[in-house]
């Protein structure tokens, strides 16, 4: 009898005490940092192309409206110049996204104005976005073995634009494999000025006149 009373008492005490340590959340409630009206995209085809299977032709559906698309690794940024093709920046850093003045947490669409879109494309070129004939052409490049690529295709270039608007810092590597082992810290620069300081540490070259940068020829300044 005494044992039964003790067990009943402990059972009654257990539930409220555990409630202090294990707060519950209603499954239907949205996360605190996610507004109720936000709905994650159901079709991740375009933004997850880097991990797509080469035979999955349905995954290379093109779109001409999306500007920022989030995926499991980060995001993709697209630009649509009036001259044709699509500019693509894969996995941009925080500093680069701020340089583009795009939303940091939600998808966004291209500008309905061709002039405004061209201005945005100009900014994209300044951070190294590459022009492709189509989304399909970009996807094909992802499934092409690295050894089959042209030597110039392996080169990676990083840009840092000082906030005072004077010149540009440029860092080049003949291949992503040649980057320092701690190069990932570049992703944590919150502003272009912080990015510039890191680029300097890795030996970036300063160009007072951006038009003298070979990789930026054709970009309007």
With a pLDDT cut of 70, the percent of the chain lying above it is 67
DSSP category for residue 168: E
Number of Cβ atoms within 10 Å of the Cβ of 173? 16
Residue 12 has pLDDT above 60, yes or no: no
Res 4: pLDDT:
52
In a domain, 128, yes or no: yes
Please indicate, yes or no, whether residues 122 and 169 belong to a single structural domain of this protein.
Answer: no
In a domain, 51, yes or no: no
Domain end residue (candidates: 111, 143, 175):
143
pLDDT digits (tens, 9 = 90+) for 73-82: 899 999 999 9
Please indicate, yes or no, whether residues 67 and 135 belong to a single structural domain of this protein.
Answer: yes
Please indicate, yes or no, whether residues 162 and 213 belong to a single structural domain of this protein.
Answer: yes
- Which pTM was predicted? 0.70
Q: Which residues pair with 159 in a beta bridge?
A: 170
Please indicate, yes or no, whether residues 152 and 204 belong to a single structural domain of this protein.
Answer: yes
Res 64: pLDDT:
75
Res 28: pLDDT:
45
In a domain, 5, yes or no: no
Q: What is d(CA 138, CA 92) in angstroms, rounded to the nearest whole number? A: 16
Residue 39 has pLDDT above 80, yes or no: no
| Residues in contact with 29: Cβ distance below 8 Å, sequence separation at least 6, in sequence order | none
pLDDT grade, residue 183 (50/70/90)?
very high
Please give the full DSSP string across 26-83, using - where no structure is assigned: -TTSPPTTS-TT----S--TTTTGGG--TT-GGG----SSEEEEE-SSSEEEEE--TT
Res 139: pLDDT:
85
Query: Total structural domains in the chain?
Result: 2
Domain end residue (candidates: 125, 143, 161):
143
Residue 122 has pLDDT above 50, yes or no: yes
Domain range for 149: 145-221
Task: Match 């092409």 to its residue by tokens.
Answer: 144
Q: What is d(CA 56, CA 59) in angstroms, rounded to the nearest whole number? A: 6
Residue 49 has pLDDT above 50, yes or no: no
Q: What is d(CA 118, CA 155) in angstroms, rounded to the nearest whole number? A: 26
Res 149: pLDDT:
57
In a domain, 33, yes or no: no
In a domain, 163, yes or no: yes
Please indicate, yes or no, whether residues 134 and 185 belong to a single structural domain of this protein.
Answer: no
pLDDT grade, residue 41 (50/70/90)?
low
Domain end residue (candidates: 98, 123, 143):
143
Please indicate, yes or no, whether residues 138 and 169 belong to a single structural domain of this protein.
Answer: no
pLDDT higher at 121 or 40: 121
Please indicate, yes or no, whether residues 130 and 152 belong to a single structural domain of this protein.
Answer: no
Q: Which residues pair with 15 in a beta bridge?
A: none
Please indicate, yes or no, whether residues 67 and 134 belong to a single structural domain of this protein.
Answer: yes
Distances 40 to 21, 37, 66, 69, 114 between C-alpha atoms, Å: 30, 10, 14, 11, 28
Distances 111 to 63, 65, 101, 205 between C-alpha atoms, Å: 14, 8, 13, 34
pLDDT higher at 204 or 45: 204
With a pLDDT cut of 90, the percent of the chain lying above it is 60
Burial of 152: CB neighbours in 10 Å, binned 0-12, 13-18, 19+: exposed
pLDDT digits (tens, 9 = 90+) for 136-169: 888 888 887 655 555 556 799 999 999 998 999 9
The pLDDT of 158-186, averaged and rounded, is 96
Res 192: pLDDT:
97
| Residues in contact with 27: Cβ distance below 8 Å, sequence separation at least 6, in sequence order | none
């Amino acid at each position: 009898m005494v044992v039964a009373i003790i067990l009943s008492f402990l059972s009654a005490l257990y539930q409220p005490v555990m409630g202090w340590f294990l707060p519950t959340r209603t499954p239907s409630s949205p996360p605190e940092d996610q507004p109720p009206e936000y709905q994650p995209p159901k079709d991740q085809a375009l933004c997850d192309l880097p991990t797509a299977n080469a035979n999955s032709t349905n995954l290379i559906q093109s779109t001409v409206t999306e500007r920022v698309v989030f995926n499991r690794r980060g995001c993709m940024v697209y630009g649509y110049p009036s001259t044709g093709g699509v500019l693509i920046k894969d996995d941009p850093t925080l500093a680069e996204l701020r340089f583009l003045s795009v939303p940091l947490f939600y998808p966004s669409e291209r500008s309905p104005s061709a002039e405004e879109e061209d201005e945005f494309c100009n900014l994209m070129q300044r951070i190294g976005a590459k022009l492709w004939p189509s989304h399909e052409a970009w996807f094909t490049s992802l499934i092409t073995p690295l050894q089959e690529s042209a030597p110039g295709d392996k080169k990676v270039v990083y840009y840092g634009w000082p906030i005072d608007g004077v010149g540009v810092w440029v860092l080049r590597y003949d291949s992503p494999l040649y980057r320092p082992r701690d190069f990932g810290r570049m992703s944590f620069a919150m502003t272009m000025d912080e990015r510039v300081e890191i680029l300097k540490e890795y030996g970036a070259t300063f160009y007072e006149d951006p038009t003298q940068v070979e990789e930026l020829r054709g970009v309007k300044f």
